[in-house]
Amino acid sequence: MRRKLVIGNWKMNGSLAGNSVLLRGIVAGHAAGKADLAVCVPAPYLAQCQAELSGTAVAWGAQDVSAYAAGAYTGEVAASMLQEFGCRHVLVGHSERRAYHHESNELVAQKALAALNAGLVPVVCVGETLEEREAGRTNVVVCAQLQAVLDVLENPALEKIVLAYEPVWAIGTGKTATPALAQEVHAALRKQVAERSAGAAAGMRILYGGSMKPENAKDLLGQSDIDGGLIGGAALKAQDFLAIAAAA
Ligand code: PEP
């Protein structure tokens, strides 16, 4: 039985004062034991998360990581640095990074590897654009994104990753994949992992992301291969984020 995981992706939002209110609201309202909960915040706020969330049931993480361990990579943040700030998770390959920073499948795979090497859980994001869906290429696209990661990970490491299926056309648009449509892609991803390792596939949490909100969370999270959510907009209000977690 896979335990549900709900992760908030704050994107480039927040302020020290606002974060404090949000984090306290999440901690106060989180019914521990129901689902695992985490927030992925902008890097400058990781120290604040470490101070405010240590000892609580809410984990924290970052939204990106360098593929390199250290060195002349101005502006990059190494996995070991995230680890020093107590991160449990780090998103890799979010569609906004793939689109705006031209991150390739291979680079995303190297980032996942760097995260694992530092003891972090990479949350590997995959998803198709509207154009790709309309061309009937959804599975080809997401499976290629996943395959690049499978190609660089050995089996024990593979068991530690989390996957997130996020159709690009559903992110921040208010359009959500229907539960059946999301389930179909999640099942295809799990099947692909199973071809490498049945054990890893059975244990792997595959999150759905893309305009998940309190009103649609229950139906999406009720699908057999949907093991949680990666939440953008709705993660910025404690009440909405907690309502999604409660539906998990
Ligand atoms: C995201 O940024 O990962 C996301 C799913 O955003 P939203 O929930 O706002 O669509």
Among 12-16, 31-35, 49-53, 83-87, name the one with the lowest average pLDDT: 31-35
Mean pLDDT of 161-169: 97
Helix (H) or strand (E) holding 199, with range, is helix 198-203
Residues in the chain: 248
Nearest alpha-carbon partner for 173 in 211, 139, 208: 211
**Residue 232 annotated as binding?**
yes
Q: How confident is the model at residue 154 (pLDDT cuts 50, 70, 90)?
A: confident
For the four alpha carbons of 161, 164, 6 and 193, in that order, the dihedral sign comes to negative
Catalytic site positions: 94, 166
Copy the structure tokens of residue 3.
């335990």
pLDDT beyond 80 at 132? yes
Distance in angstroms (rounded) separating the CA atoms of residues 110 and 54: 29
Q: Is the CB of 232 under 6 A from ligand 1?
A: yes
Strand partners, 92: 124
pLDDT at 45: 98
pLDDT band at 34 (very low <50, low <70, confident <90, very high): confident
What CATH number should be reported for the domain whose range is 5-247?
3.20.20.70
Q: Taking the complete model, does pTM exceed 0.95, yes or no?
A: yes
Strands (E), the chain: 5-9, 36-40, 58-62, 89-92, 121-126, 162-165, 206-209, 228-231
Mean pLDDT of 38-56: 98
Closest to 95 measured CA to CA, from 13, 178, 179, 169: 169
Residue 83 clears pLDDT 80, i.e. is over it:
yes
> Averaged over 94-100, what is the pLDDT?
98
pLDDT at position 33 over 80 = no
Instruction: Output the CA 171–ligand 1 centroid distance in Å.
Output: 5
Q: Which of 169, 54, 152 has its CA nearest to residue 110? A: 152
Enter the tokens of residue 66.
């360098």
Cα distances from 226 to residues 53, 163, 185, 206, 217, in angstroms, run 26, 10, 10, 6, 11
Q: Hey, where are the domains in the chain?
A: 5-247
> In 166-212, at which residue ranges do the beta strands (DSSP E only) sit?
206-209
233 lines ligand 1 (CB under 6 A): yes
Mean pLDDT of 98-108: 98
pLDDT band for 156, please (50, 70, 90 cuts): confident
Please name the residue whose Cα sits nearest to atom 3 of ligand 1.
Answer: 232
Which of the 8 DSSP states describes residue 4? P
Backbone φ and ψ for 69, nearest 5 degrees, come out as -80, -35
Q: What angle do CA 43, 240, 164 make, to 5 degrees?
A: 55
Least confident span in 16-30, 31-45, 135-149, 208-222: 31-45
CA 191 to ligand 1 centroid distance, Å:
25
Q: Determine the average pLDDT of the residues in 154-183.
A: 93
pLDDT band of 155, cuts 50, 70, 90: confident
32 has pLDDT over 80: no
